[in-house]
Amino acid sequence: MSDPAAKFLTAAERLQIEAHIAEAEKRTAGEIVVKVVSSSYHYPLASLLGSSLLSILLGIVVSLVANNESMWFFLVAFSISFIVLHELFKRLHLLRRFFVTASDMKEEVEEAAIHSFYRRNINNTVDHTGILIYISLFERKVRVVADRGINEKVAQDVWQEIVNIIVKGIHAKSQARAIADAVDRCAEILSTHFPLKQGDRNELRNEVIIGRGK
């Protein structure tokens, strides 16, 4: 099965964004990390619920078409449908999305973004000035996670501007340009409070991370 995150940006586009990260970090002591994932969670309950409901409907339809009112006939039709549909739901993101609530997606993206922040050691910079731009494609959500050094000086609602830049760019199918612009804007925000200091070193790799949500 193809990975949407791997196709989201071309190799050239990743290099373009990484160049913007490197340039941004010449202006600020902050460290900027970009991560793109296909999904923040696999939502097994959605697969189970979707395949169950559709299998019941198919079982009823097949029984009516076959003019067979036997419960055993229905159960066989349901079981075969469930096995096939459950595999489809596990593989096709679009099908699964219809059975996931907006609140569940928001919660999973939040959890996965914070998990990635710590797993990537973005919280371990010298002055706690790391920031993660986390993009989750299945949920169509962007989350910005900043370390405590930044949060002491920058209000959380400031990062909504970064989210808006990326979401707008994705809708316009110009995601690479949008992410690069978001990185530039992060540098502007961070340089006001955390200008580059003498002896400052690059603490985190300037790469676009393509990977799992958790």
The pLDDT assigned to 82 comes to: 93
pTM of this prediction exceeds 0.95: no
| pLDDT, tens digit, 9 for 90 and up, residues 60-74 | 999 999 999 899 999
For the chain, domain boundaries: 4-41+101-211, 44-97
Fold of 4-41+101-211: Diaminopimelate Epimerase; Chain A, domain 1 (3.10.310)
Q: Reply yes or no on whether the pLDDT at 83 is more than 90.
A: yes
- pLDDT (tens digit, 9 = 90+) per residue, 190-199? 999 999 887 7
The Cα–Cα gap between 210 and 140 comes to 16
Cα angle, residue 16 at apex, residues 14 and 19 outer, rounded to 5°: 110
* Distances 24 to 6, 17, 137, 147, 203 between C-alpha atoms, Å: 24, 10, 25, 17, 14
Q: Note the pLDDT tens digit of each residue in 112-170.
A: 999 999 999 999 998 899 999 999 999 999 999 999 999 999 998 999 999 999 999 99
Cα 83 versus chain centre, distance: 28
Residues in the chain: 214
Q: pLDDT tens digit string along 7-44?
A: 999 999 999 999 999 999 999 999 999 999 999 998 88
